Amino acid sequence: MFLKLDSMGQDYVIRLTAKRKLLYHNKWTFATELRNRRKGKVKLPLFYKGKEHEAYLSHVKVQITASRKDIYLVLVYGITEHPMMLATNKPIRSKEDVIAVAKQYFSRWRIEEYFRCKNRCSSLKISG
């Protein structure tokens, strides 16, 4: 998927799984290891799954196995049991850029949840 998006020139923000390996300082490292070594420094109030949360964000420049192009691993702490790991090819030069990436992901997540709920609700039959 990363290769296809790169070939199309598309920007992306993708949630990574725990088994994803990334190239960091010329060494292949599990994304979870990078996640566990860092802590969020950028504070972001966020509404997620019907609740207000205080999210803390961090980022690190890495390479993905598929393309070997520089991307950023954006880490979101304080929302789920394990910090979220987001991969993006968008440039991150400031804390505002990190916040924008997280907001973009959560905005898309809300849209996906809306359609999941809409499909679930429309498939229920109301008897009466």
Question: Is the per-residue pLDDT at 127 higher than 70?
Answer: no
What is the dihedral sign for C-alpha 61, 25, 14, 107?
Answer: negative
Helix (H) or strand (E) holding 49, with range, is none
With a pLDDT cut of 90, the percent of the chain lying above it is 52
Helix (H, G, I), strand (E, B) or coil at 75: strand
**Domains delineated in the chain:** 2-123 (3.90.350.10)
Per-residue pLDDT of 52-76, as tens digits, reads: 889 999 999 999 876 778 999 999 9
Rg of the chain over all Cα atoms, to the nearest angstrom: 17
Per-residue pLDDT of 37-57, as tens digits, reads: 988 889 999 877 778 889 999
Spell out the long-range contacts of 118-121 with Cβ–Cβ below 8 A and sequence spacing 24 or more: none
Helix (H, G, I), strand (E, B) or coil at 33: helix
